[in-house]
Amino acid sequence: MATEETSSSIPPSLPITSSGYMEGHASNRPPYFNGLDYGYWKKRMAFYLKFVDFEIWELVQDGYIEPSTDRKEWSAVDKIKATLDAKGVTLIFCALSLEEFNKVSTCKAAREVWTTLETTHEGTTQVKKSKVNMLISDFEAFEMHEGESISNMFTRFTNIVNELNALGKTYKL
């Protein structure tokens, strides 16, 4: 007699998305973002977009401006760029929870979606500078806590370095 697979057979440590599927590290779907751990998602999503098509990533980084001419007059290159930007928007939208999607649903280009998410979760340039300064202070004053294992200490240290990296300030380990 075959047993039916239920959600109770899924270990509790694995996150479940609103669709009921476990969020995984599969190359055929983008990393899921529910509003938590933006720096982690941003890094994974950037690599996912590069993996799918590096030109999509370039449009996310550089932006896409739709030609001002009638669409019937667009060149083949214009159509390819429009398609790549639409793919970028779609890939990012597919990675978002409903709550996160609602924050960017009116965006028209992949770059606009990306920068809206950045501003929402990292803050403005001034907020980023404040976060960087606070993390630099944590970095410079870093020390092992009493009774802390080396593994836990290294994890705390790596988290500080990774958060700084996500905000554009890099340190080599």
65-70: list long-range contacts, CB under 8 Å, 24+ apart: 66/109
For 77-132, how does the pLDDT look when each residue is reduced to its tens digit (9 = 90+)? 999 999 999 999 999 999 999 999 999 999 999 999 999 999 998 887 777 788 88
107 and 135, same structural domain? Answer: no
Confidence (pTM): 0.67
117 and 152, same structural domain? Answer: no
173 and 133, same structural domain? Answer: yes
Q: Is residue 12 part of a domain?
A: no
Q: Which residues pair with 16 in a beta bridge?
A: 22
136 and 61, same structural domain? Answer: no
Q: How far apart are CA 27 and CA 135, in angstroms?
A: 32
Q: Is 59 exposed, middle or buried (0-12, 13-18, 19+ CB in 10 A)?
A: buried
Q: Is residue 139 part of a domain?
A: yes
173 and 143, same structural domain? Answer: yes
Which percentage of the chain shows pLDDT scores above 90?
Answer: 58
Q: Is residue 33 part of a domain?
A: yes
Q: Is residue 6 part of a domain?
A: no
33 and 96, same structural domain? Answer: yes
For residue 93, what are the domain limits?
Answer: 23-122
Domain count for the chain: 2
